[in-house]
Amino acid sequence: MTPLISLKSIRKTFTSGEVPVHALKDVSLDIEAGDFVAIIGQSGSGKSTLMTILGCLDRPTSGQYLLDGEDVSDFSPDELAERRRRMFGFVFQSYNLVPTASAEENVEIPAIYAGLPAEARRERAGALLERLGLGDRLDHLPNQLSGGQQQRVSIARALMNGGQIILADEPTGALDSRSGRDVLATLRQMHAEGHTVIIITHAPELAESADRVIEIRDGQIVADRRLRPLPRANPKGPEAIGAEAASAVVADVFEAVRMSMRALRANLFRTVLTLLGIVIGVSSVVAMLAIGNGAQQSVLSRIAAMGSDLLIVRPNMANFRGGDGGSIVSLVPSDADAILELPNVAFAVPEMSSTLTVRAGNRDTQTTVNGTVPQFPAAKSWEVGAGSFLNTEDMTSYAPVAVIGQTVADTLFPDGGTALGQYILIKNIPFQVIGVMAKKGATAGGQDQDDTVLVPLSTGNLRLFGARNVRSITVQVKDDSAINVTQDQIQALLDDRHKRQDTQITNMAAIRETFTETSNVLKIFLGSIAAISLVVGGIGVMNIMLVSVTERTREIGIRMATGARARDILTQFIVEALVVSALGGLIGIALGLSIGGVAQLFGVPVSFAPGPVILAFGSAFLTGLVFGYLPARNASRLQPAVALASV
Ligand code: ADP
Ligand code: MG
């Protein structure tokens, strides 16, 4: 019959230090299933090294290890993890419980990696703790338990997956003698139930309770005594639990999220600081883009309201500085008629204007009186609210009629009475109000466009303005795409008519284009600032994860000892980084939207769109993945024996 464990010429040499340490020199050893073996020896004799090799936590430097007939000496890390999970249960001198997990959760850990469903896991962990007299301590954290109780939790954990072979390294070393006896009695009982028990101790009196005592000195076996015969029934021991259940990926991730939430809660202050980096990054992306988009759209819509297919011809002010009292005489109404003759011109609307006092009854107001033509509403995209606009007949007959803006209507006729049909006095000349313009609002420059009175250009020219000065000619083109050509033609025409260049033309389409380009550059700039803060946040995540891995090296070792594969550890730490950044992302989005909302309350134009929100959250998530990967990989590459030995 093949022994359960068979070591042949096992050597283990540590070469990490300056001089190689030969911890095990040519150890050969057979252990039968169902035996109770004590390995004794002085401190430093190689006992723990032997245990890490027996327990598949480390590989021998040379020699052969047959476990249940299989040569595991050159197994891959994952294959070794599978053997640990299925066959071994570890009990350590320092208990090695995960400090942030309750007694029950600690006992459950091996079954997580064996893929046992959560319900079955909890039930079995509870039952094991109950059996070991800890039924009323399930929710206690390790630091709320006595040493003896912690050691019993770790025995329960060793039994969780079946624990065919229980490896106990100085299990009573840190306990008082009574608790030590309790633990030993528990191990004896496990042996009676068919578990193979191997305990390591430096105390000879403890070894007396074993069936077989192996003494090791300087890495070599020096004595091997049998005190009691091997139990005759020699059962194979309990079945492995859950080993066949393929662990579902979803359950893994769910479990990893749960574990990471716990780890993050355990270090709440640090977690909050880490979150802060991500939150600031994400909220600034969301808020900056919302405000940037809002500003752009608001300006674009004002430009659109003015009409983007317009050319506005004005006298070139620079030519008249210090001229005849600042009066502008370069543009005349007939210029508009000449422009209208050009091929691509839909209409050309001249405006003359003057600031005058307008009176109605006993009220008066200072306002801009504009002389213009019937095409004015079309050229300005500005509708008449009530009544009608000036028509061609008004022009030719020099009619004393006026269309007034909302502000003027409100000022002169405040009592809700309609202005239509009433007379207003401009320069003591009565004009009849035939229309009221719809509300237009302020210009981008904050000027109230509704504070105006519109009269026929001909009437204004003759009776109000005196000088024949035209303030501007608004030209609408037929074909937008040829607007630049038309602009050049108008400039050439006017230069020819005036025999000098004394006008300038504003091209609304060009302004709109320039503005859009400028604001896009600005948005990219804002976006990059936000992206930089996200990267800074990501570095924060990486920093914290690296600290976390270093701090929790032993926990990683415990998880590996209970059967976690490298990729389980990788998943756990990546998920932890992702949980932080996703949480930070969500809080950041909420904060960014609130900042936008508050800005809106204060009158800042804000435009919320799903794009930036998705972009910011996606970047946060990606940041977590990228910056969490390196620490997670470091964690997963730890050697189980090394990780367990860390303090
Ligand atoms: P014991 O458990 O019997 O006290 P160990 O097996 O822990 O002894 O150690 C045996 C020898 O191997 C000691 O000299 C120890 O210093 C050395 N040793 C153990 N682990 C390592 C390691 N990871 N690197 C270098 N030397 C080690
Ligand atoms: Mg030791």
Q: Radius of gyration over alpha carbons of the chain, in Å?
A: 44
Nearest CA owner, ligand 1 atom 13: 44
pLDDT band of residue 376 (cuts 50, 70, 90) is confident
- Residues 490 and 573 both lie in one domain: no
Whether 541 maps to a domain, the answer reads yes
Residue 319: what residue type? N
81-107 residues labelled b (16+ CB within 10 A) or e (exposed) = bbbbbbbbbbbbbbbbbbebbbbbbbb
Whether 317 maps to a domain, the answer reads no
Model confidence over 485-499: pLDDT tens digits? 999 999 999 988 888
Whether 321 maps to a domain, the answer reads no
- Residues 221 and 285 both lie in one domain: no
Tracing tokens 């509708």 back to the chain, one arrives at: 383
CATH of the domain at 72: 3.40.50.300
Ligand 1, closest atom to CA 51? 6
- Yes or no: say if 612 and 285 are a contact pair by the CB < 8 Å rule: yes
State the number of CA atoms in the 13 A half-sphere of 617 facing the CB: 14
- Residues 81 and 168 both lie in one domain: yes
* Gap from CA of 419 to ligand 2 centroid (Å): 103
Whether 497 maps to a domain, the answer reads yes
Choosing from 12, 49, 199, 201 the residue with most ligand 1 atoms within 8 A of its CB, the one to mutate for a pocket test is 49
Whether 257 maps to a domain, the answer reads no
- Residues 414 and 277 both lie in one domain: no
Kindly list the protein residues whose Cβ atom lies closer than 6 A to any atom of ligand 1.
14, 16-17, 21, 23, 41, 43-49
Which residues surround the ion ligand 2 when the cut-off is CB under 5 Å?
48
- Residues 457 and 350 both lie in one domain: yes
- Predicted local distance difference test score (pLDDT) of residue 218: 94
Round the average pLDDT of the chain to a whole number and report it: 87
Domain span including residue 394: 328-501
* Gap from CA of 43 to ligand 2 centroid (Å): 7
Least distant ligand from the CA of 93:
2
Whether 259 maps to a domain, the answer reads no
- Residues 587 and 481 both lie in one domain: no
Nearest CA owner, ligand 1 atom 7: 48
| Non-local CB neighbours of 373 within 8 Å, separated by 6+ positions | 336, 349, 350, 390, 395, 456, 457
Which ranges in 45-102 belong to alpha helices (H)? 47-54, 77-87
- Residues 58 and 163 both lie in one domain: yes
- Yes or no: say if 242 and 161 are a contact pair by the CB < 8 Å rule: yes
| Non-local CB neighbours of 88 within 8 Å, separated by 6+ positions | 55, 56, 158, 163, 164, 165, 166, 167, 561
Whether 314 maps to a domain, the answer reads no
Ligand 1, closest atom to CA 45? 3
Domain-terminating residue out of 475, 501, 527: 501
- Tell whether the model's pLDDT for residue 435 goes beyond 70: yes
Ligand 1, closest atom to CA 47? 3
Maximal C-alpha separation, the chain: 133
Nearest CA owner, ligand 1 atom 25: 14
- Yes or no: say if 433 and 399 are a contact pair by the CB < 8 Å rule: no
- Predicted local distance difference test score (pLDDT) of residue 226: 93
Q: Which residue has the higher pLDDT, 305 or 538?
A: 538
- Residues 210 and 283 both lie in one domain: no
- Yes or no: say if 54 and 167 are a contact pair by the CB < 8 Å rule: yes
- Residues 36 and 133 both lie in one domain: yes
Domain-terminating residue out of 436, 470, 501: 501
- Residues 283 and 162 both lie in one domain: no
* Gap from CA of 49 to ligand 1 centroid (Å): 6
Q: If phi over 0 gives left and psi between -120 and 50 gives alpha, with beta otherwise, what is residue 171?
A: alpha
Model confidence over 559-614: pLDDT tens digits? 999 989 998 899 888 998 899 889 999 999 999 999 999 999 998 888 888 888 89
pLDDT band of residue 243 (cuts 50, 70, 90) is very low
Least distant ligand from the CA of 643:
1
- Residues 192 and 75 both lie in one domain: yes
What's the rounded mean pLDDT across residues 308-313? 82
Model confidence over 120-158: pLDDT tens digits? 899 999 999 999 999 999 999 999 999 999 999 999 999
Whether 410 maps to a domain, the answer reads yes
Domain-terminating residue out of 446, 478, 501: 501
Q: What is the tally of structural domains in the chain? A: 3
- Residues 38 and 166 both lie in one domain: yes
| Stated pTM of the model | 0.72
Give Cα separations from 504 to 211, 277, 311 (angstroms).
109, 52, 10
Ligand 1, closest atom to CA 12? 12
- Predicted local distance difference test score (pLDDT) of residue 236: 54
- Tell whether the model's pLDDT for residue 235 goes beyond 60: no
Nearest CA owner, ligand 1 atom 20: 49
Nearest CA owner, ligand 1 atom 17: 23
Take residue 569 and report the two structure tokens written for it. 């550890």
- Tell whether the model's pLDDT for residue 625 goes beyond 80: yes
- Predicted local distance difference test score (pLDDT) of residue 103: 95
- Yes or no: say if 164 and 87 are a contact pair by the CB < 8 Å rule: yes
- Predicted local distance difference test score (pLDDT) of residue 315: 84
Least distant ligand from the CA of 50:
1
Cα–Cα distance measured from residue 581 to residue 279, given in angstroms and rounded to the nearest whole number: 8
- Read off the DSSP letter of residue 97: -
